[in-house]
Structure 1
Amino acid sequence: MTPFDMSNTPASQTDAFWRTVRLEDMSKTQWESLCDGCGRCCLQKLEDEDTGEVCYTALSCRHLDTDSCRCKVYPQRATVAPECIHLTVNDIPEFHWLPSTCAYRLVSEGKDLPEWHPLVSGTPETVHLVGISVQQRVMSEDRVPEEDWEEHIIHWID
């Protein structure tokens, strides 16, 4: 049972673009709208050098607004945060590091969007209501020295 009414949502339409348009062929607007606003990709990640396993931490980029789960400097992120990863169609083979709930990863794997995704539910709040987002669950990377990040590895993101 979901906490929202799904009876009249965009996903009920047979022409939902993510079902018919390849990632490579999406317009900029379509591409950007795939982001569900969860903020998970904005968490600091640690990679095991031996296994290549990517572990997420409870530490967000200093530019993530942890209330809205949106980037505070999104239009200028390339300049302000050069370390920010900008997902493009060229990165599709590397999408395995994205959370299993990420629309970019799901669509690249030929899967449909979940019912809580804003494009399906019709509201950006569902990602928070069902607990997918990092809203109020993380803190800024600025609060923890980088050498201590390993102590903040989380296991609620896959």
Structure 2
Amino acid sequence: MTDDAPFWKRKSLGEMTKEEWESLCDGCGRCCLHKLRDDETDEIHYTNVACRLLDLETCRCSDYMHRFRKVRDCVSLTPALMEEIDWLPPTCGYRLVHEGRDLPEWHPLRSGNEESVHQAHISGQGRIVSERRAGALEDYVADWPGEYPSSLPLPPLIRRHKP
């Protein structure tokens, strides 16, 4: 891999700077949607109900700096945690890079446009509801947050050179 290749193609998640790590978030809001785990099967059921801090229009946290104080179960995503969690959506930049894949064309790092995630209909924009307005989560189970759109190609695997 050449030095002029984008950082996500050259570096593992653990090698990234804080700024590089943060930029992998595409702003889709899918990880901020509530999920239900079946006690018997361990299966994850995604909902279209968003954390109360998620801005439903921008699909970004409205208080990112203070989110852990306001939302006790908010997860601080780290490279080490990527080995343990199984609920990140299949479109997630963190998940894709962790799986050894390139970022898709609609990802803001590739497109140069923060709106591209919304334009590609990857984000929750226009199809999520705040937990402040929702009722029982079971009434809001949705398939789309846990699916990679079949109309879009899955990004290819990246071949990284190990030193």
Per the normalisation by structure 1, the TM-score is 0.87
Letter in structure 2 aligned against 1:103: G
User: Cα RMSD (Å) of the superposition?
Assistant: 1.3
| Gaps in structure 1 of 5+ consecutive residues | 1-12
Distance 1:74 1:99 in 2: 20
Match of 2:35 among 28, 31, 45: 45
SS, match of residue 157 in structure 1: helix
Distance 1:90 1:42 in 2: 19
Match of 2:133 among 111, 130, 143: 143
Letter in structure 2 aligned against 1:105: R
Match of 2:69 among 56, 64, 79: 79
Distance 1:96 1:120 in 2: 25
Whether the aligned pair in 2 keeps the contact of 1:95 and 1:105 (CA below 8 Å) is no
Distance 1:123 1:43 in 2: 23
Matches within 5 A, 1:5-20: 14-20=4-10
Letter in structure 2 aligned against 1:150: E
Q: Deviations over 1:44-68 (max 9, x none)?
A: 1101111111111111000000100
SS, match of residue 143 in structure 1: coil
Q: Residues 106 and 99 (structure 1 numbering): CA distance in 2 closer, same or farther, change over 3 Å? A: same
Aligned to 2:49: 59
1:93 and 2:83 equivalent? yes
Q: Deviations over 1:32-83 (max 9, x none)?
A: 0000000000001101111111111111000000100000010111111121
Q: Residues 44 and 58 (structure 1 numbering): CA distance in 2 closer, same or farther, change over 3 Å? A: same
Name whichever of 123-132 and 95-104 sits farther off: 95-104
1:31 and 2:31 equivalent? no
Aligned to 2:145: 157
Per the normalisation by structure 2, the TM-score is 0.85
SS, match of residue 37 in structure 1: coil
Per the TM alignment, residue 96 of structure 1 is displaced from its structure 2 partner at its CA by 2.7
Whether the aligned pair in 1 keeps the contact of 2:106 and 2:120 (CA below 8 Å) is yes
Per the TM alignment, residue 97 of structure 1 is displaced from its structure 2 partner at its CA by 1.3
Give the helix-richer structure, 1 or 2: 1
Whether the aligned pair in 1 keeps the contact of 2:48 and 2:145 (CA below 8 Å) is no
1:108 and 2:81 equivalent? no
Distance 1:52 1:86 in 2: 22
1:119 and 2:109 equivalent? yes
The alignment-based identity, stated in percent, is: 49
| Gaps in structure 2 of 5+ consecutive residues | 147-163
> How many residue pairs end up in the alignment?
144
